[in-house]
Chain A
């Protein structure tokens, strides 16, 4: 059978752009570019034995930050105690009180070697930091009430983390003469060892519970 070669009709491609536009708009709408972000914390491992294992901390090494059910904050170490009525006071914006983050920094550094602030220990952090005295055993303990709002708790957590971040930034400027973000991973590790985040996620105490 003799076949005649048929000509394939050309495909009209002018609507391709419209179709791909539709698809594009669909993906534009459903895609969410926002990456999840948050305050990273590490919980302590669960107690191994029946009786509660609690670590004894010397009073001078302990900084208690307590958020009560009225979302007021008490920041207490052996040196002094301060009350903050709201978030703006916490940040030192109103009320003329020393901001929580500055208190935490003062507590962690203990530059004056005060007896009421954590004890200083000489430790070697490697070049170029060398042997410097640090408050190796300080603890910032954040405690809360049963009816504290999550928002107030996060605000306090944030202020404490901010204190550590500023300390690290200052450390990077002092020892490496650059900002913390521009250090190599090794150098960042050194600074982290110098100012470790020692924030205690306290065992829950049932203040104001049922």
Chain B
């Protein structure tokens, strides 16, 4: 059996994966086990989505209290406005109103924290939000 075409086939698959892959841009520093919901919608354009991760820290030495991760560091709720402004500035002007903030919060988070985050997002005029959830029943 001739296997000379095998590298070509493998290369074709390789290119497919190279093109479709999106490298995990940030390392998660908080444990996020997102809740399940049945009515979820997909977030279409990845470039329009900004992520906020909320959950207990991965590093157990930092305790079990709820922390928020923006980009690659822990942050306070009061820093959200600056973060949103910065993310908005890095976008196309036409895309700015379409910006969506995806709140990836651990399912055991207290609502007080989420509410604070929501209020901060309102103040920052990031009004399109998405509660990140896994599809399931």
Q: Chain A nearest CB: distance from B5 CB in Å?
A: 10
**A37 interface residue, CB < 8 Å from B?**
yes
**Nearest-CB distance from A168 to chain B (Å)?**
11
A157 beta carbon closer than 8 Å to chain B: yes
The answer for the CA separation of A165 and B110 in the assembled complex, in Å, is: 28
Task: Report the interface size for chain B: residues with CB under 8 A from the other chain.
Answer: 55
The one of B14, B46, B130, B133 that contacts A20, using a Cβ cutoff of 8 Å: B14
CA distance A75 to B24 in the complex (A): 41
Q: Which of A23, A46, A147, A165 contacts B111 (CB 8 A)?
A: A147
Contact A151–B22 (Cβ < 8 Å): no
The reply to whether B39 and A39 contact each other, CB–CB distance below 8 Å, is: yes
- Complex: A37 Cα to B136 Cα, angstroms: 11
Chain B contacts of A43 at CB under 8 A? 118, 121-122, 126-129
Known contacts A44-B127, A146-B111, A149-B109, A17 near B40 by CB under 8 Å: no
Tell me which residues from 127 to 161 in chain A have a Cβ below 8 Å from any Cβ of chain B. 144-151, 153-155, 157-158, 161
Q: Does A148 contact B122, Cβ atoms closer than 8 Å?
A: no
Inter-chain contacts of A56 with B (CB < 8 A): none
Interface 1/0s, chain A 8-24, versus B by CB < 8 A?
00000100110011011
B112 touches A146 (CB 8 A): yes
| Size category, A interface | 35 or more
A154 to B135, CA, bound (A): 12
Contact between B125 and A20, CB atoms less than 8 A apart: no
Task: Assess whether A96 is interfacial by the CB under 8 Å rule.
Answer: no
The chain B residue with its CB closest to the CB of A91 is B137
A144 cross-chain contacts in B, Cβ below 8 A: 111, 115
Q: Are B111 and A13 in contact (CB under 8 A)?
A: no
**Could you give, for residues 77-113 of chain B, a 1 whenever the CB lies within 8 Å of some chain A CB and a 0 otherwise?**
0000000000000000000000010111111111110
Would B107 and A154 count as touching, CB distance under 8 A? Answer: yes
- If A31-B20, A37-B43 touch, does A24 touch B13 (CB 8 Å cutoff)? yes
